Structure 1
Amino acid sequence: MSRSAGNTAAVHKNAKTLPSRAVPAVELPAPSEELAVKAVERLGWKGVLLPQLTLLGRKVFVVAELLPDAHAERLCFGVGPVVDRTTVATWVWPELAGKVPPAAVRIVGVLAVAKHWRTGLASAVPFALHGDAAVVLPSSVALTDDYLSNCLPRARRYGLSIVTADPDGTVSMDLAGTPEHISLEQTAVTRWVNEVVYEQVLATAS
């Protein structure tokens, strides 16, 4: 072995013995499902809390309520949930106005449970323009300068609610969302999300 190789090996060996200053990873104080139940109650959302699902590439919890009249109409015409995005995309065409099935559920709110506020906002913001949206975060995250300086201004901008979870699993409202941001315009995306949620509501009921 050359002298340089021996020195390199010695350096590598010594490097392994240096003390590590790794920051402990932030963990959720309880399973996501349990925190979602508590957060929905704290937020006062009324409806069916669906199991966590992936919408628009984000893992979220949705609270929705079935619209009895619209659901009955769709049953009469044999039109169940339509989750094919290409088909649903045509429903907003002007020439199909009045010819597409009515939305059979109302999405009360969309909730993201995350360990970090950036992940939570990335999951919740796409839904915030069309309804109530919220994020559940560990309470330790809400004590950082990063949260105060960067998370809260962004959450206020999009009208998001933020619920924090203490180490014992107790949840508290840290920021109440505002409804002024909500748009009532139906788009191909919102109609498709509504159909996916409609399917999940029926599956949960059965």
Structure 2
Amino acid sequence: MERAAEALGWSGVVVPDVSLLGTHVSVVVVPDVAAHEWRLENRCAEPLLDPDSLAMWEWPEGRGLFPPSAVSIRGVVAGVDRSARNALSNARKWRGFAATAVALPSGEAASRDLLLECSYSGVAVVCEDQDEAKVIQPGHAGRLATARRTTVDRWIEEKLYGRLLVDADLADALL
């Protein structure tokens, strides 16, 4: 998935095997080291998942009073586990949060129908080879233009921040 993110131009840290929103994907996040340090200094480094508290954190009136988000989502890559259609379905669920892509395994060709559906949904298609990944079809950059930020965004960011804190392979991103 790192090669797919690199081919798409998504810089950041790949958090693999994320199970959220009824999907199983890899998420590319950009850690905010300053926000992490702010949270450490103010003794609120642990991720908070309480919906009521997160709603207050997102209030415009609370800017500066509550912890800043320690990660932002750059993109989401859905790998093909059962089928390419399942991967597309998973990627579509994340379009409201970030740019998305379907990563086809080495040797699997993308059908015209799959490319058409991905194009319609704004989902990129990447073919991973053993040495590199190649973008077969670009997708839309960023989240859907009509998607506004909600408490769910913050909840997902907190979950991903928690993964960075506990996963030794990813924790270096916060230093």
Measured in 2, the distance between the counterparts of 1:181 and 1:131 equals 4
| 1:205 counterpart = 2:167 | no
The whole-number CA distance in structure 1 between the counterparts of 2:142 and 2:43 is 37
2:158 counterpart of 1:195: yes
Amino acid at match of 1:56: L
String of CA shifts for 1:42-62, please: whole Å, max 9, x gaps: 222211112312011211111
> Structure 1 pair 158/90, CA: closer, same or farther in 2 (3 Å)?
farther
SS of corresponding position for 2:94: helix
Long gaps (5+) in structure 2: none
Q: 8 Å contact 1:112–1:134 — kept in the other structure?
A: yes
Residue 30 (structure 1) aligns with: none
Deviation for aligned residue 1:169: 6.6
Secondary structure of 1:156's aligned partner: helix
Give 5+ residue unaligned stretches, structure 1: 1-35
Aligned to 1:122: 89
How far did residue 201 of structure 1 move?
A: 1.8
Contact persistence 2:79–2:104 (CA under 8 A): yes
1:51-95, Cα deviation, whole Å (9 max, x unpaired):
31201121111111211222222122111211344543454457x
Q: Distance in 2 between matches of 1:181 and 1:97?
A: 24
Kept in 1: contact 2:13–2:29 (CA 8 A): yes
Per the TM alignment, residue 132 of structure 1 is displaced from its structure 2 partner at its CA by 1.6
Runs of 4+ in structure 1 over 4 Å off: none
8 A Cα contact 2:29 2:73, kept in partner: yes
Identity %: 32
- Residue 108 of structure 2 is aligned to residue 140 of structure 1: yes
CA distance in 1, matches of 2:20, 2:51: 12
Partner of 2:5: 40
Please report the TM-score for the alignment, with normalisation by the length of structure 1.
0.68
Give the deviation of 1:174 after TM superposition: 1.0
Amino acid at match of 2:4: A
CA shift for structure 1 position 179: 2.1
Asked which structure has the greater CA Rg, the reply is 1
Instruction: Note the 1:3-22 alignment, pairs <5 A.
Output: none
CA RMSD of aligned residues (A): 2.5
TM-score of the superposition, structure 2-length normalised?
Answer: 0.79
CA distance in 2, matches of 1:38, 1:129: 23
SS in structure 1 at match of 2:16: coil
Aligned twin of 1:172: 134
The structure-2 alpha-carbon separation of the partners of 1:181 and 1:104, relative to structure 1 and needing over 3 Å to count, comes to closer
- In the TM superposition, residue 163 of structure 1 has moved relative to its aligned partner by 0.7
Residue in structure 2 matching 1:53, options 3, 18, 21: 18
Structure whose residues are more often helix by fraction: 1
The secondary structure found in structure 1 opposite 2:2 is helix
Shift of 1:161: 1.0
May I ask how many residue pairs the two structures share in their alignment? 164
